Chains A and B, each alone.
Chain A
């Protein structure tokens, strides 16, 4: 996906809430994905973006397009769910994870980690590099899940556009890694390809945080910059899922400007690091 869009949103007329609801209901009934509790502003913008990208004039036309061309739904899902990410996004978070959290888990056998919205894989490679440099990768068992099969395929391929390299390199430097990021990839034309060996303890899984229920227990859950796309009610529901999926004293890390404080289920967690939004389960 392009990181930058020059599409102007003013060329699409305002999408009404009625039309958004109609679309959400249609998708729920036909594709079994529930967007009814996605935060409105970004969801509206994502839908407007799909209309523009595929030159579709309104929501009704989009719905008939989805009826007639099943493959359009894959495109739709890819655009609706936000997949913009970076390796070591917010480097101070990754330093905190390496310096404060991983040492507390290092004795666990295995260390069980769930990346709950792995997107195109940047977070997984960041995590794998971190664990490898900390000398605990061999003990780690990582589950990487995402709502979207397509981005999982991209994560597995570990192939990224060369234009994203600069920001990833800079983030890795700010993370103060032991190596050079280039020790973990090879370039190939306009792309760079991450070392597949980093995935040897990773299993991928298609999983929808909205519809899914717990499938295992973990020592650490990463879910960074995903809850921002949900309403407070849905955030609370997902937080319950995370609580059920953590061992006691297990860690939950969300994005640097996300908070669980507005959720009722927040009482089941304590704050481990306020600055980096790392929490710890303290009750069932």
Chain B
């Protein structure tokens, strides 16, 4: 775990650099729940790759901002990734994290019928952040994200999946669970609690 430090009291490690969340059908409410529960001083970037209508550019980021304690933006190509902001993958683009802590967008072919592809975001983000990343996969009706979670796990990231029992559509979390080792399978409330605890540790250090 290299630079990650285990906190004696909470058992939670600090030193994370990013939270990456993938979701599809049934994930919107979970995402808004997370964004509305995180403290305003949340100290990591939250990178959201959510399946969405290809041709609708407006509305989604505005809808998230209504509830979110963190400012939600759609990054431009080559935009620097900053702590305390939430980034939403734009419609009809893949969202990559580049070495150097900035985003790159792409119009490559769809992957698993998806653009943005959760697999591509998780893969590129974990290539950069390695064990300093928290990868979260939520409700969804296809298997996008499973390969990405597998790569993230391989590179040491903390992998979290929404509990299939709770998820509106369990296909996506289940695909990830069967693809790789998931560190914690959690209900939304527990997921939020973990992120808040983690922020506390991150801020103290």
Q: Give chain A's interface residues, CB within 8 Å of chain B.
A: 1-6, 8-10, 14, 39-42, 45-46, 82, 84-85, 89-92, 170-171, 174, 225, 227-229, 232, 235, 255-259, 261-262
Contact = CB atoms under 8 A, between A and B. Distances in A.
A232 B127 CA distance: 20
Contacts, number: 90
Contacts of B120: 41, 45
B29 interface: no
B78 A4 contact: no
Given A2-B109, A90-B57, A41 B78 contact: no
Interface in B97-135: 97-99, 104-113, 119-120, 123-124, 127
A257 B78 contact: no
Contacts of B119: 9
Interface string B136-166: 0000000000010011000000000000000
Contacts of A90: 57, 92
Contact of B127 (A1, A41, A85, A171): A41
Contacts of B93: 228, 257
B77 A228 contact: yes
Contacts of A10: 147, 150-151
A261 B113 CA distance: 32
A42 B108 contact: yes
A110 to B, nearest CB: 30
A257 B78 CA distance: 10
Nearest to B89: A257
B113 A225 contact: no
B78 A232 contact: yes
B74 interface: yes
B109 A174 contact: no
B110 A4 contact: yes
Contacts of A8: 147
A257 B127 contact: no
B147 A257 contact: no
B57 A258 contact: no
Contacts of A89: 92
B98 A40 contact: yes
Given A3-B110, A225-B107, 18 more contacts: A4-B109, A4-B111, A5-B110, A5-B111, A9-B147, A14-B127, A41-B98, A42-B94, A42-B106, A45-B108, A84-B108, A84-B109, A90-B57, A92-B57, A170-B55, A228-B107, A255-B77, A257-B90
Contacts of B151: 10
A232 B94 CA distance: 18
Given A41-B98, A259-B76, A228 B55 contact: no
Interface in B60-103: 74-79, 90, 92-94, 96-99
A43 to B, nearest CB: 10
B96 A261 contact: no
B106 A257 contact: no
Nearest to B105: A228
A155 to B, nearest CB: 17
A258 B104 CA distance: 9
**Nearest 3 A-B pairs (CB), nearest first?**
A41-B96, A41-B124, A259-B76
A228 B150 CA distance: 26
Given A8-B147, A228-B106, A257 B77 contact: yes
B147 A228 contact: no
Contacts of B127: 14, 41
29 contacts: A3-B110, A4-B110, A4-B111, A5-B109, A5-B111, A9-B123, A10-B147, A39-B96, A41-B96, A41-B104, A41-B106, A41-B127, A42-B108, A84-B108, A89-B92, A170-B55, A227-B77, A228-B93, A228-B104, A228-B106, A235-B78, A255-B107, A256-B90, A257-B74, A257-B75, A257-B90, A258-B76, A258-B105, A262-B79
